[in-house]
């Protein structure tokens, strides 16, 4: 039945399109990162491995999410957050790996991971447990629930953002002897500032969210925003790391 639904996807279904293209794009990116590990110095191989794992994990989840969406038309919230729980901390690991040579300590790694977990757990509670009426419409407490958990989630996000732009990661990159690392970390910081900002837009489209309440944007808008953000951020993160690795390796040759 799922196979039949996949073969009869409406041409105007932008969400299904982004699920399919996101899956293929991230799978292709994974293959690229894994194969390119042989071209960089040993000190960058782990960074490229992590980049490949990020997109590969996402590709596997998108494979299941696309079928779930086609079969039900619903937002695959649980599958999406499982994906993020694995991939977002790995994206934070990249900051640590890039600045390790400049003196980054393991405690920086754990602080970034814990901040990302706070961001994700709070976001999941806010999105998956919205109070609903018997008919499935948002209850009176839906907006306050959404806002409260959204604010808690934002605390984790702001910590990562601050660390990347002004805090420990930024200072370590600044003190790095590599101009490539300095530039790369700054680009990744832009991804956190601009690319990750798409996720709160999707969050506010859920029942009780501000965009849902004000404009009626619903689950399809959530998936569309999330799918676009995932492809840009995960593949983009990996390409920046790849550029750092390949550029540094060429200079060392």
pLDDT in tens, 90-131: 999 999 999 998 899 999 999 999 999 999 999 999 988 888
Which one has a higher pLDDT value, 61 or 224? 61
Global confidence as pTM: 0.90
pLDDT score, position 212: 63
d(CA 164, CA 205): 27
Q: Give the SS3 label for residue 136.
A: coil
Report the percent of the chain where pLDDT is more than 90: 60
Do 202 and 132 touch, CB atoms closer than 8 A? no
Answer positive or negative: Cα dihedral of 60, 62, 66, 69.
positive
Query: How does residue 217 score in pLDDT terms, banded at 50, 70 and 90?
Result: low
Q: Decide if 85 contacts 101 (C-beta within 8 A).
A: no
Question: How far, CA to CA in Å, does 18 sit from each of 26, 158, 207?
Answer: 12, 28, 22
Q: Are 62 and 19 in contact (CB under 8 A)?
A: yes
Confidence of residue 157 (pLDDT cuts 50, 70, 90): very high
For the domain 2-252, what is the CATH code? 1.20.1070.10
DSSP helix/strand/coil, 143: helix
Tell me how far CA of residue 122 lies from CA of 116, 117, 203, 221, 245, in angstroms: 10, 8, 11, 20, 34
CB 9 within 8 A of CB 70: yes
* Backbone torsions φ then ψ of 35, nearest 5 degrees: -70, -35
Q: What is the SS3 assignment for 206-253? A: CCCCHHHHHHCCCHHHHHHHHHHHHHHHHHHHHHHHHHHHHHHHHHHC
With beta carbons less than 8 A apart as the criterion, state whether 123 and 203 touch: yes
Residue 203 CB neighbour total at 10 angstroms: 23
What are the residue boundaries of the structural domains of the chain, listed by start?
Answer: 2-252
């Amino acid at each position: 039945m799922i196979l039949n639904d996949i073969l009869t996807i409406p041409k105007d279904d932008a969400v299904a399109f982004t699920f399919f293209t996101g899956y293929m794009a991230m799978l292709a990116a994974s293959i690229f990162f894994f194969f390119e590990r042989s071209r960089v110095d040993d000190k960058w191989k782990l960074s490229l491995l992590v980049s490949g794992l990020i997109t590969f994990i996402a590709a596997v989840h998108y494979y299941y999410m696309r079928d779930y969406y086609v079969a039900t038309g619903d937002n695959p919230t649980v599958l999406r957050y499982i994906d993020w729980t694995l991939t977002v901390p790995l994206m934070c690991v990249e900051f640590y790996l890039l600045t390790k040579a400049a003196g980054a300590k393991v405690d920086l790694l754990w602080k970034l991971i814990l901040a990302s977990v706070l961001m994700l757990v709070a976001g999941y509670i806010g999105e998956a447990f919205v109070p609903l009426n018997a008919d499935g419409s948002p209850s009176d407490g839906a907006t306050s629930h959404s806002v409260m958990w959204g604010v808690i989630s934002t605390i984790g996000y702001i910590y990562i953002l601050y660390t990347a732009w002004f805090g420990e990661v930024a200072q370590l990159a600044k003190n790095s002897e590599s101009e490539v690392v300095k530039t790369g970390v700054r680009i990744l910081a832009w991804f956190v500032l601009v690319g990750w900002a798409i996720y709160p837009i999707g969050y506010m489209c859920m029942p009780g969210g501000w965009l849902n309440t004000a404009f009626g944007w619903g689950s399809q808008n959530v998936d569309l925003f999330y799918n676009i953000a995932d492809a840009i951020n995960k593949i983009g993160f990996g390409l920046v790391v790849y550029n750092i690795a390949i550029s540094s390796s060429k200079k060392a040759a």
